[in-house]
Amino acid sequence: MSAPTPSHSSGLGDRMRQLRAQGVRGYLAAWRRRQLTEGLGPAPAVLALLLIWTVFQILDSNFLSPRNLSNLSVDIVGLGLIATGLVFVLLLGEIDLSVGAASGLSAALFAVLNVRHGMSEPLAVLCAVAAACAAGALHGYIFARLGVPAFAVTLAAALAWNGLMAALLGGSGTLSFDDEGLVAKLTSHHFGHPAAAYSLAALATGLYFLAARRRSRAQRASGTQSSSVGEIAARTAALGLIAFAAAAVLNQYQGLPLAFLLFLLIVAGLDYVLRRTAYGRQVYALGGSVEVARRAGLNVAAVRVSVFAVSGTLAALGGLFLASRTSTVGLSSAPVILLISAIAAAVIGGTSLFGGRGRTWSALLGILVIQSIASGMALLGIPAAIQLVITAGVLLIAVIADSLARHARLTHTPGADQDRYPSGAGGRLGSGTQ
């Protein structure tokens, strides 16, 4: 039933030595453990991304050009934000099918308020985002308080918000706004000075180093094997290399795009919320086991409502970035495609559909994979219809991998199985009286 446990008299020092002595095996064990907490994690998506970039670069030497990569860094933001909101919902083990429609509705709301009613852009943005946040909270309330399955609530909402968007836009179904305004600038503005991109790269590297050192200290405090200084330095150097390379590439075109900067800040900020605050811990706990969370005294309904509100809010922000690209809001962009792409991004990046495993960074990674495919195929002149089929195929592969990983967890580890005790031990009554 269980591995023999060493006598519990061995002290802290012994245990640390024992753990360090495990070397490579210990490292692999640690990786396997991370897999248990975080799902498949980012490794498959990183490999896929390298493969995709290599293949497209071979097929078309423009693929890795500064111009194309810079455009890619802006193109990912709209869908990436929607996917980031979905990560919250997926962490609960739930789904929000309304994000595509909600993003369209809030963009339409912004355009109508701004263009037709003359509301200032900042105020119209605020209204649009607040409306989507309220809509998300409403979905969450109906799910958490009335017990309607999340897919049903959000499916109905998707239809409703899509209809409302059409009604708002009226006859022509499209509405253009100022292409020099605040919202248009979200995706058109670049920080041209090279120092901007390099400072961001330096900041990211520094913060990564501090976070890794803090985590290592916390591990040492709890008597756990901690990453060595060398390992932290190596990982920081790797990240720094990527960050500075990206900065150099962006600087060869128009500099650091505002959209990409905002996306990074939002993803990093929300990752901090999920992993370093009690609220984030509650989100993960609910994805692990609702019953355990309830017994621990967590306010399950409040967390659920808040998560759907986050999803709605980020869908709205994503919708504004999508509209910003063309300074137009239209019915043409099908919400279903937005939805599927956002789900695909989150899952491809390593967030599990089954709850409790994933990070906001998976939205960034996953959307990079999806947009890279889209951008590469556009360069090669492959029709959009075929792109859809390929995106769906990638999503399917990611979902299958996620399901297989879950199956492996359930069959190989006692702790992953929630109902670990057989029920009804009444038959043992008399026999236990030795």
Interface with another protein (CB under 8 A): 1-3, 5-8, 10, 12, 15, 18-19, 32-33, 36-37, 215, 217-219, 221-225, 276-278, 281, 284-285, 287-289, 291-298, 355-357, 409, 413-421, 423-426, 428-430, 432-434
- CA atoms of 245 and 251, how far apart (whole Å): 10
CB 251 within 8 A of CB 197: yes
Which value, in Å, is the radius of gyration of the alpha carbons in the chain? 24
Least spacing, CB of residue 387 vs another protein, in Å: 34
How many CB atoms sit inside 10 A of residue 397's CB?
Answer: 15
Of the candidates 328, 318, 309, the one whose C-alpha atom is nearest the C-alpha of residue 80 is: 318
Half-sphere exposure of 203 (CA within 13 A, CB side): 11
| Residue 170, Ramachandran bin (φ over 0: left; ψ between -120 and 50: alpha; else beta) | left
Q: Which is nearer to another protein, 23 or 430 (CB)?
A: 430
Least spacing, CB of residue 347 vs another protein, in Å: 16
CB 91 within 8 A of CB 358: yes
Q: Which is nearer to another protein, 294 or 325 (CB)?
A: 294
Least spacing, CB of residue 369 vs another protein, in Å: 24
CB 327 within 8 A of CB 92: no
- CA atoms of 160 and 139, how far apart (whole Å): 12
Q: Which is nearer to another protein, 15 or 235 (CB)?
A: 15
Least spacing, CB of residue 87 vs another protein, in Å: 14
- CA atoms of 107 and 325, how far apart (whole Å): 12
Least spacing, CB of residue 259 vs another protein, in Å: 28
Least spacing, CB of residue 30 vs another protein, in Å: 9
Q: Which is nearer to another protein, 24 or 385 (CB)?
A: 24
Q: Which is nearer to another protein, 287 or 349 (CB)?
A: 287
Q: Which is nearer to another protein, 18 or 120 (CB)?
A: 18
